[in-house]
Amino acid sequence: MIYLDYAATTPISDSALDIYCKVAKTAYGNSSSLHDIGDLSARTLAASRKIIANLLGANEKGIFFTGGGSEANILTIQSLLKGLDSKKNHIITTQIEHSSLHTFFKTLASKGYDVTFLMPDENGHISVYDLQNQLKQNTGLVSIQHGNSEIGSIQPLKEIGQLLKNKDILFHSDCVQTFGKLPISVENSHLDAISISAHKIYGPKGIGAAYINPAIHWQPLIAGTTHESGFRPGTVDVPSAAAFATAAQEIISEMEKNTEHFLQLKNHFISLLEPYKDKIILLTENIDQSLPNILPIVIKGIEGQYTMLECNRHGYAISTGSACQVGMQAPSRPLTSIGFDEQQAKQYIRISLGKQTTKQQIENFTQTLYSIVKNF
């Protein structure tokens, strides 16, 4: 089976797995325990926290380990909202956020919050001008993802951050798909909070992290929580945190090389599609501000689920969208948000590239797509 679904998850790297095993055997104590074994775990956890903070240009006191990216998203938003003046009940987000946040913001709207969902342009980009026009006196929080997992669009965090800083409005970004693939500096982009995840960068599943600027007032979701400075209850998974930090260091050090690799594969794929470009459409072919490892495709007249199953039958693992929404019959929300009707949106598939993806794999996969189109 050839794996082309790296945006859904990645295999753990050898170095991250090695660190996980070593820490699990040596620093097995509860990091909150006061004995020496607990202290070893606490020091390992602190070192892991510092590594991730440094990679983000962040204060380590603002890094909190979570059970994953989705949990980091929801806990961060809840903690920020609890710390805001109750009059600041207007939230701005986008129609193309990850399902973990989109559904949560809809829940908040049903509970009395005033939530504005910005629509992207036809390329999936949010206009800073549109955002500015939606700001109100009671706007307390803006949450806009950095990179979309389904269509790959990248949002201008620095410009958005500058606008919101000048107006003293909190700014959160879901950076799960971009951490390790794009440079992220919380200070340069004026980000008050972000969410990241380990399993998207060749780290273990079941652990993520949230960053909240220590200068920002927030309140714990559950009063009396002691772990992670009150941000999240439960004993911290120290081996996973260490493996997360190891994977993060590794992928950041390889970022330029990986980006070049993805661009070469993407351009080669575009050239291979030329004979069928009227039938097989790569949505990001002419879009610069998009993640090069995410290749969103629409095959005219063929439902994405059929294409995905046929690819699987031929030995290729691809997807029809965010793994968190697989099994839902609704068409891709990002695609309908950028102008596709429901039938067209259901013709969408996504291949996503990883460090292990080769030129030969892309060539063979393209031939499989050709045969599916010919035989349909």
User: At which residue do the structure tokens 């929801």 appear?
Assistant: 74
DSSP-based three-state secondary structure for 275: helix
Q: Are 175 and 146 in contact (CB under 8 A)?
A: yes
Question: What was the pLDDT predicted at 328?
Answer: 52
CA dist., res. 132 & res. 130, Å (int) = 5
Q: Are 216 and 193 in contact (CB under 8 A)?
A: yes
Q: What is the pLDDT of residues 195-223, one digit of tens each?
A: 999 999 999 999 999 999 999 999 988 88
In the predicted model, is pLDDT for residue 281 greater than 90? yes
List the structure tokens of 232. 């999240």
Helices (H), the chain: 14-26, 36-56, 69-83, 99-110, 128-134, 157-166, 238-253, 255-273, 304-313, 333-337, 342-345, 359-375
Point out the least confidently predicted range of 151-155, 268-272, 363-367, 372-376: 372-376
In the predicted model, is pLDDT for residue 257 greater than 70? yes
Helices 36-56 and 238-253 sit at what angle, rounded to 10 degrees?
Answer: 30
Q: How far apart are the first and last CA of the chain?
A: 22
Q: What angle do CA 116, 290, 179 make, to 5 degrees?
A: 80
Which residues have CB under 8 Å from 292's CB, separation 6+?
152, 259, 262, 263, 266, 353
User: At which residue do the structure tokens 């290729």 appear?
Assistant: 316
Q: What is the pLDDT of residues 37-93, one digit of tens each?
A: 778 999 999 999 999 999 999 999 999 999 999 999 999 999 999 999 999 999 999
CA dist., res. 47 & res. 52, Å (int) = 9
Q: Are 219 and 229 in contact (CB under 8 A)?
A: no
User: DSSP character for 235?
Assistant: -
Average pLDDT in the 262-277 region? 95
Which of 21, 175, 311, 324 is flagged as catalytic? 324
Please say whether the dihedral angle defined by the alpha carbons of residues 298, 302, 303 and 309, taken in this order, is positive or negative. Answer: negative
pLDDT band at residue 324 under the 50/70/90 scheme: low
Average pLDDT in the 112-127 region? 97
In the predicted model, is pLDDT for residue 8 greater than 70? yes
Q: Where in the chain is the domain with CATH 3.40.640.10?
A: 14-253
- Please give the helix or strand (H or E) that residue 170 lies within, else none: strand 170-174
- Say whether 311 is catalytic: no
In the predicted model, is pLDDT for residue 329 greater than 80? no
Q: Where in the chain is the domain with CATH 3.90.1150.10?
A: 2-9+255-375
pLDDT band at residue 139 under the 50/70/90 scheme: very high
CATH of domain 14-253: 3.40.640.10
Q: Which residues pair with 299 in a beta bridge?
A: 280
CA dist., res. 244 & res. 34, Å (int) = 24
> For 156-183, b where at least 16 C-beta lie within 10 A, e where not — what string?
bbeebbbbbeeeebbbbbbbbbbbbbee
Q: β-strand 114-118 against 63-66: which pairing, if any?
A: unpaired
CA dist., res. 38 & res. 337, Å (int) = 49
CA 325 to chain centroid: 14
Q: What percent of the chain is predicted at pLDDT more than 70?
A: 97
Question: What was the pLDDT predicted at 121?
Answer: 97
Q: What percent of the chain is predicted at pLDDT more than 90?
A: 88
Q: Which fold has domain 2-9+255-375?
A: Aspartate Aminotransferase, domain 1 (3.90.1150)
Question: What was the pLDDT predicted at 189?
Answer: 97
Average pLDDT in the 160-173 region? 97
Longest CA span, the chain: 67
CA dist., res. 177 & res. 195, Å (int) = 10
Question: What was the pLDDT predicted at 223?
Answer: 80
